[in-house]
Structures are given as structure tokens and as C-alpha cells.
Amino acid sequence: MPSTSSVHSPLAGPVLLQSGRTTYELVRPLEHTWHGELLLARRHFDSNMGDYVVLKRLSRDCREEDYRRLMEEVAINARLRHPSIATMHDLEGTEGDPYLVLEYVEGHRLDALLALSTQVGKPLSEAFACYVGAEVADALHHAHLLTNEQGRWMRLVHRNVSLDTIILGNQGQVKLTDFGAVWSSDPSRYPTEDDALPNNLAYASPEVTRKAQLDGRADQFSLAAVLLHLLTGRPLIEGTDRLTQELRELRRRVDEATSLGKSDKAAVALVVDLKGQIRKLTWSFIEQVRAMSTRDIAEATRTLSAGLRPILRRALAPNRTDRFPSCEEFGRELRLHLWRIGQLYGRKEAEHEVAALSKRAKARSSSRAVTAPKATAAHRAAAPSSGRRGASTEGRRKRESRPR
């Protein structure tokens, strides 16, 4: 019987859950995501050390529809079979406290790589962006063609393609993650037309902000916006980075206030106020996305190479009918561009480029550490301690366990 016991393993941290002879042991919380949170865990088989996995579980104050969406995410992930999509291993836990067991990809998210390249003053190469873009485009095309068990086309749209949801593995492999915000017009699914907008609007297409009927070209726009950010170091719409940080901070404060419970009237009032601020910021940004013109796209892509510029301009067209017919076509154009400029670029080349970038960053950090003045005892005493985001794990309300 699966369990979410809080007992401790003699080997390391708290045990999140047990299923038969398999134990999942918390390593550290990762981040909050669509309707839940991600936790890095180590999987043990009997008493043997196992592999690392990512566990996704619902937020403590989730709604019934969040649970239904999570179950639909399970059904979708079970059918996705592509080398550039992070796999779902299993569904564990109880009916009241389900966990998705997801593939752990050891490597770097694209947002971390962009930050690293900015830190050392060395941009990621055009070949790197084209390689990553083509791999993700293939993964998206696979998802866009997915059918359900009855063979009916599901018309899936990822809706959250961003720097945060694309990982480059340590061997140069590319992985698309997080299908928790997926949209579908399949009538058998829980309706998504009236969903809240995805958490990350920085790469959202104009039609996503209108909550209109979608197709794969919405993801094509988002992927092109990600590649533009990688190549230029700037998002498609100026101020996106600041807005994203402000929204994250507001959502963090909402989570803190919500955790105090509905009996705390001051906390309830604060949640209402914070959500109002979130709506105001969000709609201000949405208006900018909807107002984008072909002239704006031309200006944003002005510094790209002559060969790549028309490809991204087409994929970023405000009107989806002006984009490539599919992500497959978009990926093919990116590969053809590499061929035209004589670039042979794949896993090995990506692995070497990132390794060189990391080495350069470490060398710079070491150099700064050597030249930096030593902190006095008073400074060390005054320095804030680094806290872990594990508060949601400890003290989580235990649910009654039921056999599956």
C-alpha cells in the first residue's frame, strides 16, 4: 500500500512515499509549477540505492479541477513517446495525495544557461540555438499529432514552452518538460477553453492570451521567442524579465498567506489584494502581446544573421496563418540553415559548448574569490543564512491512505 510516511531513512532525508518495495526519499524541493510542486527524490529498491527522479504533486490547497487536470496530465504523458520529451515513469501515492514520477534529466535549464552566458559575457552560439530549437520542434510536432485511446486526434498544445521548460542534458540531449498547462479541444477532456493563462507569459503567442481555439502554431511562436531570447539575450517584449520576477514574488506571497488558512481574515484580505495586483500586471502585459505587429517582430530580430532572420520572423508572425504550417516545418528550416552555413552540430557539440561555458564561469568565480577581500567575523555573523524551500514538505497534512 503506497504511503506518504514521514519516517526517515538511515541513508539520507525524509521518505516522501513508499510503494511496495520502492521508497522515494526527498533530496530537495525544486520549484512550484502548474497546479503543484516539483521535488527531486532518490528512488530506492529494497535497501539498494536507486536512481534520481522528479516527483510532481498537487499544491496543498488544490481544487477538484486541479486533481482532474493532473490525472489528464498522467494520461497524456503515458502516451508521449519521444526522445526529446521527459518521460513519466509512474503514478504513485494515494487517491488523496497523488505523485507523478517523472524522468530526472541531469543538466541545465535554458534559463540557467542564458544566465551563465550573460555572466561570462559569451553568447550562446547560433548553431546551439538552432540545434535546441530543431529538437524541441520535433518533440512538439509529436505532441501535436497525439491521439487518444480511441484514435481521436487530441489537438494538444503545450502552452508553456519557455526557457524554464527546456533542459539540455549533460550529454547534450534536449528535453522538453511540463505538460501540466496543456490545452486540448478533445471533448473527452476537462474543458480548457476557460483556463487561467499559463504562469509564464513571456513567450506566449497572441492567440494564447486571447484564450482562443489553438493549434500547434501557438507553440511554434513560443519556441521562436525562446530562441530569440537565447540569441539576443533579450526577450521579445522588453520588461518581461522584471515582470516575471514581480509575478513570482506576488505568487509566493499568495502561497504564504493562503497557508495561514481561511480563518485568518487578514491573510484572506491580503490574498484578495495580491491576486488583484497579479491580474493588473498580467493584463498590462497581455495588451502588449496582443498589440505586437510585424514591424515589432522585424525590429526584435534585426540583429540576427541574414540566414536565420527570415526563419524566426516567420515563426514569430503575429497572425498564426503567416507562420510555418507546423513545428516539423519550423524544425526542418532550422536544420537547413545549419546545413547552409556548413555547421555540423549535434549532441557532442552542444555538450562541449556548455562544458566550455561552465569552465569559463568557474574560472571567473575562482578569480573573483582570490581577489575579493576576506569577510570579517562581524560580517560573517551578520550574513543571512541560506534557507531551503522545504517548508511545504515538512508539516504537510497527512491524508488517509487508501489502496490503489
Ordered by start, the domain boundaries in the chain are 15-103, 107-236+292-352
As a whole number of angstroms, the distance between CA 56 and CA 99 comes to 6
Matching fold, domains 15-103 and 107-236+292-352: no
192 closest CA partner among 10, 357, 298, 68? 68
Specify the pLDDT at position 221: 97
As a whole number of angstroms, the distance between CA 26 and CA 130 comes to 36
- Cβ neighbours for 338, distance < 8 A, ≥ 6 positions apart: 127, 130, 131, 134, 344, 345
CATH, range 107-236+292-352:
1.10.510.10
Specify the pLDDT at position 7: 36
Specify the pLDDT at position 3: 34
Spans in the chain with pLDDT lower than 50: 1-11, 192-196, 374-404
| The residue to which cell 514521514 is assigned | 6
105 closest CA partner among 57, 50, 55, 167? 167
Q: CA separation (Å) from 390 to 24, 37, 165, 368, 395?
A: 16, 11, 22, 31, 10
Specify the pLDDT at position 116: 94
**Which residues partner with 169 through β-bridges?**
107
86 closest CA partner among 110, 105, 109? 105
What CATH number does domain 15-103 carry, 3.30.200.20, 2.40.30.30, 2.60.120.640, 3.40.50.12780?
Answer: 3.30.200.20
pTM of the model: 0.80
Specify the pLDDT at position 140: 98
Q: How many CB atoms lie within 10 A of CB 299?
A: 10
Contact (Cβ atoms closer than 8 angstroms) between residue 55 and residue 38: yes
As a whole number of angstroms, the distance between CA 395 and CA 34 comes to 22
Q: How many CB atoms lie within 10 A of CB 251?
A: 15
124 closest CA partner among 244, 239, 241, 228? 228
For residue 293, give the H/E element and its range: none
